[in-house]
Amino acid sequence: MKYPIFLTIALAAAVQMPALEAADKIEHNPYGVCAHVSRGELEIAPQEFKRMHEADITWVRTDFDWRGVETKQGSWNFDRLDKLISIAKQDKINILPILDYDVLWARPAWNHLNAWGEYVRRIVSRYAKDLRCWEVWNEQNSGGFWRDTPSGKNYTTLLKHSYEEIKKIDPTLTVLYGGTAGVPLAFIEDSFKAGAGNYFDAMNIHPYNWQGTPELMLDQIHDLKTLMKKYKLEDKPIWITEVGWSTAKPNTFFREVLPAAFERAGIDPGKSAAAVISDLEKGFAGAAILKQSGNLAMFRQVDEITLEELPNLSVKRYPVLVPSIGEEFPVKYLPALLNYVKRGGTLLLPSGLPFYYELQPDGRKVQVNDKHMKEFHIGWEAWWTRDGVPKQETWQKPGPEFANAFKVYFKPASRFLHDRNLREGDEFIPIIAAGTDNYQSAVAALYKLNSDLKGNIIICTRMSTYETVPEERQAEMLPRTYLIALASGVERIFWYNFRSGEWEPDEREAHFGIVRKNLDPKPSFRAYQTLSRLCPTGSSRPSLEKKGSAYLANWTQPDGTKVWAIWSAMKACEVELNVRGEVAEALNHLGEKQPHPGKEYTVTPAILYLVGPESVSISSR
């Protein structure tokens, strides 16, 4: 998922971010998780629910699949869901059901409203007494889930019909807009234009930020609120029904494929340093997550640089640069990036189509397709750009020069690299070849340049090659995610997900959980416990401010005790800490006791909680 990531709230390092103030209290438990308890985890749901209560998690989001209850046309079976609801009631767990997906005889669902309406009527009327909130679809802006070309207008058609059927059953039921993949403002506005605002009680998003950190949500939620206000929907609450990071091991692309590619490029990572761009002060996370995730552990050293450091970046010191892990890059700095390659530097572009989007100085993300390909001597094509290119490849294998270097695990890319922009002296070397019976190209390639450009460019067009973090990093991000969302006015947040499936060690989807497959806690579970204990239901909504690279949140517990949380987004920074009043407890994000901080304090991405002081302030050093 790729979204604009230029922040509009956090600006220059010396400027304090306006505090996100809110006088209201957290009246209802905001802590939720996603769990597949309506599918394969039904048998262990009692054990899962027991573990959830240890972290004060009382909300569970799960699919109420249409195909799971109407197994064949006209044949309805609710046994599994009946069992789930019985267990949830006994264990005092609130279920948030998702009304979603289709059946073979009614695809796409939005165009078969009579059949869809019967499913909605049957399932909602059966459980309305116990389940008071209903989410209509999941990530409808994604073609894979929508089962058709995503359309805000068509989603509104489905939403309207669902809303009307649900309200006929009980007008006091809460209808949620389906959680969107990311915060796709254009899609959401198209639905608002079609009248969607009349047919939901709570807005709903999935603000994943694979590129970086939870702090990027500040901009996403701010922009969503601005859009809702434009359509007079500002009084409707916002929920987040999915957000999270996976702790899968580094992808085989980094562990096996890249070392072979660097060897062919004449680079020994074990003796070299790599630079990754990380510049949250300019709202660009760049490739910092690659360093955090350990995916670049092959290098002797990995350093973060800012965009301003790029023009003078030493090729000798940093022979490899990762400018971005997505498809966007700030247009202002593209000339400096090109100059780095002219001077012999190697660019690693590990995921998607390079420079497909320009990030403008005002934060806009502009799709420019292949505008910058020729100047970098690289090129890509897809079925929508040239006749004869398949919509999806049917095979992948190592390129001819890498036949015995690594094993390829097939994950379709549907975007292919070509050599038509090379100049005399340049080479195009397929790393991962791909194609069909009638087409052959590459989805990963080394552009070895020896013309006016003297460096290398390594590209992989497959998505999701980097979207993992170590368990320790997941634990740091979880409480920051909740505090940022709550401070931004979000009503309820569901972490994706509760239990890791662990079917493959490096499969992203298998490791999102905060507990392991056997329900043993991961560090992030302890971080969840600590947060829910320190910010329980009935606390004041956290306020949030920023000084330099440091963030400071504070709230008041129901008994009047004040709590403060201090952290940085990416890397450590020095602050002057002023604490007035007694510190009853100083805890890290895992709930472990910490020394009481002095006036000079090093802030890190791991939260420091201070319980009890009357006031805490920070200033940059």
CATH of the domain at 434: 3.40.50
Instruction: Say what percent of the chain tops pLDDT 90.
Output: 82
Kindly report the CATH number assigned to the domain that includes residue 601. Answer: 2.60.40
What pLDDT does 563 receive?
98
Domain boundary among 460, 490, 522: 460
Q: What is the chain's mean pLDDT, rounded?
A: 92
pLDDT of residue 397 exceeding 50, the answer is yes
Inside any domain, residue 73: no
Same domain? 139 vs 206: yes
Same domain? 342 vs 473: no
Same domain? 483 vs 399: no
pLDDT of residue 544 exceeding 80, the answer is yes
Same domain? 115 vs 200: yes
Kindly report the CATH number assigned to the domain that includes residue 199. Answer: 3.20.20.80
What pLDDT does 465 receive?
58
Can you tell me the mean pLDDT for 557-561? 97
Who contacts 40 (Cβ-Cβ below 8 Å, separation ≥6)? Answer: none
Can you tell me the mean pLDDT for 175-194? 97
pLDDT of residue 436 exceeding 90, the answer is yes
Inside any domain, residue 206: yes
What pLDDT does 278 receive?
86
Inside any domain, residue 52: no
Strand partners, 565: 553, 609
What pLDDT does 6 receive?
30
pTM score, whole prediction: 0.84
Nearest to 316 by CA among 287, 348, 276, 345: 345
Task: Note the residue count of the chain.
Answer: 621
CA distances to 208, 236, 556 from 543, in Å: 22, 20, 10
Domain boundary among 406, 428, 460: 460
Can you tell me the mean pLDDT for 597-616? 96
Can you tell me the mean pLDDT for 195-203? 98
Domain containing 392: what range? Answer: 252-460
Q: How far is CA 65 from the centre of its chain?
A: 24
Can you tell me the mean pLDDT for 106-115? 97
For residue 2, name the pLDDT band (cuts at 50, 70, 90).
Answer: very low
pLDDT of residue 286 exceeding 90, the answer is no
Same domain? 171 vs 259: no
Domain count of the chain?
Answer: 3
Apex 172 CA angle, 166 and 175, nearest 5: 50
Contact 472, 219 (CB under 8 A): no
Same domain? 151 vs 193: yes
Inside any domain, residue 543: no
Who contacts 334 (Cβ-Cβ below 8 Å, separation ≥6)? Answer: 355, 358, 372
Same domain? 271 vs 133: no
What pLDDT does 505 receive?
86
Contact 482, 493 (CB under 8 A): yes
Amino acid sitting at position 278? S
pLDDT of residue 23 exceeding 70, the answer is no
What pLDDT does 16 receive?
39
pLDDT of residue 159 exceeding 60, the answer is yes
What pLDDT does 3 receive?
32
- Extended strands (E) in 472-572: 492-495, 543-547, 550-556, 562-568
What pLDDT does 464 receive?
65
pLDDT of residue 280 exceeding 90, the answer is no
For residue 466, name the pLDDT band (cuts at 50, 70, 90).
Answer: low
For residue 4, name the pLDDT band (cuts at 50, 70, 90).
Answer: very low
Can you tell me the mean pLDDT for 397-401? 97
Domain boundary among 416, 433, 460: 460
Same domain? 307 vs 438: yes
For residue 211, name the pLDDT band (cuts at 50, 70, 90).
Answer: low
Q: What is the CA radius of gyration of the chain?
A: 25
Same domain? 280 vs 294: yes
pLDDT of residue 21 exceeding 80, the answer is no
d(C-alpha 605, C-alpha 295), whole Å: 19
Same domain? 151 vs 294: no
What pLDDT does 19 receive?
47
Inside any domain, residue 444: yes
Inside any domain, residue 76: no
Can you tell me the mean pLDDT for 22-37? 85
Question: Out of 40-54, 90-104, 173-187, 240-254, which region has the weakest mean confidence (pLDDT)?
Answer: 240-254
Same domain? 433 vs 322: yes
Question: Out of 174-188, 244-258, 274-288, which region has the weakest mean confidence (pLDDT)?
Answer: 274-288
d(C-alpha 218, C-alpha 485), whole Å: 8
What pLDDT does 283 receive?
73
What pLDDT does 281 receive?
75
pLDDT of residue 20 exceeding 80, the answer is no
d(C-alpha 338, C-alpha 164), whole Å: 55
Stronger pLDDT, 407 or 27, i.e. the higher one: 407
Inside any domain, residue 387: yes
What pLDDT does 422 receive?
98
pLDDT of residue 145 exceeding 60, the answer is yes
Cis peptide before 323 (omega within 30 of 0): no
Stronger pLDDT, 398 or 363, i.e. the higher one: 398
Tokens for 603, please give them. 């802030």
pLDDT of residue 189 exceeding 80, the answer is yes
Question: Out of 9-13, 90-94, 446-450, which region has the weakest mean confidence (pLDDT)?
Answer: 9-13
Nearest to 327 by CA among 287, 362, 294: 287
What pLDDT does 11 receive?
30
Inside any domain, residue 75: no
For residue 368, name the pLDDT band (cuts at 50, 70, 90).
Answer: very high
Who contacts 65 (Cβ-Cβ below 8 Å, separation ≥6)? Answer: 38, 39, 100, 101
Same domain? 452 vs 475: no
d(C-alpha 139, C-alpha 512), whole Å: 18
